[in-house]
Amino acid sequence: MTALKNDRFLRALLRESVDTTPIWMMRQAGRYLPEYRETRAKAGDFLSLCRNTEFACEVTLQPLRRYDLDAAILFSDILTVPDALGLGLYFETGEGPKFKKTIRTEKDIQDLPKINAQTDLDYVMNAVTAIRSALGGSVPLIGFSGSPWTLATYMIEGGSSKDYRYTKEMLYKTPELLHTLLDHLADAVIDYLNAQVEAGAQAIQIFDSWGGALAHREYIDFSLNYMQKIVNGLIREKDGRRIPVILFTKGGGQWLDVMLDTGADAFGLDWTTRLDEARKLVNGRAALQGNLDPATLYGSTQTIERAVKLMLDDAYANGEKTGYVANLGHGITQWVNPDMPKIFVDTVHEYSAKYL
């Protein structure tokens, strides 16, 4: 494999010295970019875009041509695993992802197949390999998956949800069924992420997008414990380098103390968590990532610069020299002016130099 020209992202995740703060953006390949919209139109629809190696590679690289980012992230979707389990993923305009089949009974769970990611999700692995080759060692490639809890909510609800009615009914009425489903999904995610590593992913992020919807004990029992199982089952070294693992629970900053026990290398934070207090709590035991409010990018140049500088002041308030990756607190939105992320990226690199 080609040697990395810019490895500051990986170094920061492992709390090694860096020359400037690394930065990437969740959902950095997306609808806010006109070139993405053009490629998606050529593909015909979102799933066709994901399943076409050439297109998936192209949209992954698009933000790196515009911005001085320190990592690429595989272009795919967190719901590829449930789709491979036979639930029939589809997208309706303006309504987001939906499934033709839901999982709500013991028989539904028993009937779920065991997937082989190398074959059942071969289009994802083809994309990883193609992207890694196209990057030419310029920056690392991040692979990812949804967390078992987040995947389960989509599978049980049949799509997005605001109240998780059916999922929480299963959780409180028949918790053993939900545990069975989550265990099945954890095994599938381990296989899926390890296949991505074998295909060329150099870091892994687990998106626990809906973990923050859980109560404290339930978060540990029904989300964190299954992410712990995944971390334990992942390939952690490849080609002589550590494969860092990032856990991101949206709305989960209050659980950092228990998250540390998972052995993950880094934890993502959303904008509701104080970064300086989080750094103090973690105390060098793991790296942190985040946590700019994505809506900040709707603002003026001056507004963005000020918010980024305050975030960096918080990140380095306790005297740390590394162990921090700048990012948004969630995915960039489709309404952002594509000129504004450059201000975010450049300010991170320029301003953070004074701390490093």
* Secondary structure letter of residue 120 according to DSSP: H
Query: What does the chain come to in residues?
Result: 356
Exactly one of 7, 8, 32, 77 is catalytic; name it.
77
Do the annotations mark residue 254 as ligand-binding? no
Please tell me whether 65 is known to bind a ligand.
no
- Residue 321 in contact with residue 19, Cβ under 8 Å? no
Per the annotation, does 48 bind a ligand?
Answer: no
Q: From CA 47, how far away is CA 82, in angstroms rounded?
A: 13
67 in catalytic set: no
37 classed as catalytic: no
Q: Report the C-alpha gap between 128 and 138 in whole angstroms.
A: 15
Please, which residues have CB within 8 angstroms of residue 47's CB and are 6 or more apart in sequence? 77, 89, 90, 91
209 marked as part of a ligand binding site: yes
User: 77 labelled as ligand-binding?
Assistant: yes
Is 29 labeled as ligand-binding? Answer: yes
Asked whether residue 154 is marked as a ligand-binding residue, the answer is yes
Instruction: Give the burial string for 234-259 (b: 16+ CB within 10 Å, else e).
Output: bbeeeeeeebbbbbbbbbbbebbeeb
184 is in an annotated binding site: no
**Binding residue per annotation — 290?**
no
For 278: left if phi > 0, alpha if psi spans -120 to 50, otherwise beta; the answer is: alpha
77 has catalytic annotation: yes
- Which is catalytic among the residues 31, 236, 242, 306? 31
Q: Out of 8, 11, 15, 40, pick the active-site residue.
A: 40
Q: Count Cβ neighbours within 10 Å for each residue of 265-298 and write b for 16 or more, e otherwise.
A: bbbbbbbebebeebbeebeeebbbbbbbbbebbe
In 132-290, beta strands by DSSP E: 141-146, 203-208, 237-238, 241-242, 245-249, 266-268, 287-289
154 is catalytic: yes
**Helix or strand (DSSP H, E) at 127:** helix 122-135
- Is 40 tagged catalytic? yes
Choice among 154, 192, 226, 324 that is catalytic: 154
Binding site per annotation, positions for substrate:
27-31, 77, 154, 209, 330
Catalytic residues: 27, 31, 40, 77, 154
Binding site per annotation, positions:
27-31, 77, 154, 209, 330
